[in-house]
Chains A and B, each alone.
Chain A
Amino acid sequence: MSADRENHEMTQSDIAFLLADAADEVEIGIAPVQQVMRAGRRRRARRWAVAAVTAAVVAGSTGAALAFAGLPGGHGDRQGYVAKPPSPPRARHVYDPQRTELARGTYRGKEWHVVVQVWGAPRDEAEADRQFDAMAALGLEPADAHKPADLIGKVSFFATRGWGDARPEQVMFNTVRDFENFAGTDLEAAATRLGTGGESSGRLVIGMVARTARQVTCHWKDGTVTVAEPADGLSVHDTGSAIRPVAGFLKANWFVCRAPAGTSYAAAEVTK
């Protein structure tokens, strides 16, 4: 019994030792105090802006409701309130998402590409079942959806990175009632790799910015930068870095930055 306990304790202290050893692998770097404080101020300002907009909308809708109730008989404009016939699931992209290619290029002789797909919200269990199956057939796993019913009333997006013949992998994705609105210099990004294997880790940055953003600057660890700017369509002159609108994604644009060989992601910011 005491031997067991001793062994147990030793195991736990050894796990602690190994964790401490593994934690040493991280590069600590300098605490980016100013960057965090700036982002915190933006976050605070944005929170206030959202609160203000919500208040305005609530005030507006109350006014409209009062005005409508005040119409004589309440029938005058009835035509404007007639419900539209429900649109079929196909028109809402429930089973077949809207796809937008953001960037492509070549890495170690094979093509890589980044695509964002946006799936419409299923309205009932039958639609959710079919959507769940359609996603599974493409190897996609929606966030927080363990069963088809979890998808009802929610839109899903997936940013995928493909390389060569391998099945594309989902990098950023979410399933939500409504997309988050991006404004000003808001930015959300993920650093990933161009192909499989660790050598290209952190060389591809995919993210979302406000639709008003005209320039995203990606900073790499070797001190160099890459600039992504709005681009129309894809061409052979593409550098692999661009800002593009995504079909079905109305509250943000997407961007991609590709790092030169030998370096990797440090930071990204909206610069215009």
Chain B
Amino acid sequence: MGDRKQARDGEFQSFMIGRWPRLMRTAFLLTGEQHAAEDLVQSTLEKAFVAWRRVGSADDPEAYVRRVMINLHARRHRRRLKEFLAPRDDSGLVREIADTGDRIAQADDRRALLTALAQLPARQREAVVLRYWEDLTETQAAEAMGCSVGTVKSNAAKGITKLRAIPGLAETVTQGGRK
């Protein structure tokens, strides 16, 4: 019995170490803030650990973890831990974009995108992140968000439209990306 428990703990440990970087990146895109991302991933994994006996033996533990993370994110958003969600500074929403190829410009792109993401309603942000960062199908995203495929489609479309409306990013996007 004890051996089985130890084996399960070991399994969870490997799972967590393996998925940590990816989960951190996803959480960062969802929350827009380092501490909030760490907190979201840790809370998600705590829940996964509590249910690991069931989760670990499931076909797709990652889908479970994704679902938990999206649920937690949605719940936190409802509780509006506002400062976690909006890493804005005092200089305004979007800064001027400098020359292509410039490292400062790249950092500004990132910041502008993160700020814009933080301004999206939670469901749109979740749909955009799951579809375009996690690269999930609409069906998988719908499963993670606990909604219909149609809802994912419309949230992702609205989110993308708003992101494209950012002046610097719209330019970047129509030029095929900035590096």
> A residues within 8 Å of B by Cβ?
7, 10-29, 31-33, 35-37, 39-41, 43-44, 47, 141, 143-144, 169-174, 190-193, 196-198, 201-202, 264-265
Contact of B25 (CB < 8 Å), options: A15, A16, A26, A201 = A26
Over the window 158-179 of chain B, the binary record of Cβ atoms lying under 8 Å from chain A Cβ atoms (1 yes, 0 no) is 0010011000010011101110
A173 engages B79 (CB within 8 Å)? yes
Separation in Å of the B110 CB from the closest CB of chain A?
A: 4
Interface size classification for chain B? 35 or more
Q: How far is the CA of A41 from the CA of B89 in the complex (A)?
A: 38
Do residues A21 and B83 form an inter-chain contact, with CB atoms below 8 A? no
Query: Known: A19-B133, A26-B24, A40-B50. Is A144-B16 also a contact (CB below 8 A)?
Result: no
Asked if residues A11 and B160 are in contact (CB atoms below 8 Å), the reply is: yes
Interface residues of B, dominant DSSP: helix
| Complex CA–CA separation, A13 to B172 (angstroms) | 12
CB distance B24 to A28 under 8 Å? yes
Instruction: Check B64 for interface membership: any CB of A closer than 8 A.
Output: no
Asked if B16 and A31 make an inter-chain contact with CB atoms under 8 angstroms apart, the answer reads yes
Most buried by B among A39, A40, A202, A264: A40
Interface mask (B18-35 → A, CB under 8 Å = 1, otherwise 0): 001100111111000011
Are the CB atoms of A141 and B9 closer together than 8 Å? no
Given A173-B80, A190-B81, verify A26-B28 contact (CB < 8 Å): yes
CB pair B106 A23 closer than 8 Å: no
Residue of A nearest to B49 (CB): A40
B78 interface contact, C-beta 8 A: yes
Contact status of A39 and B26, CB under 8 A, knowing A18-B109, A171-B83, A173-B79: no
Is the beta-carbon distance between B90 and A197 smaller than 8 angstroms? yes
B132 pairs with A21, CB closer than 8 A: no
With a CB–CB cut-off of 8 A, which chain B residues contact A196?
90
Residue of chain B at shortest CB distance from A10: B176
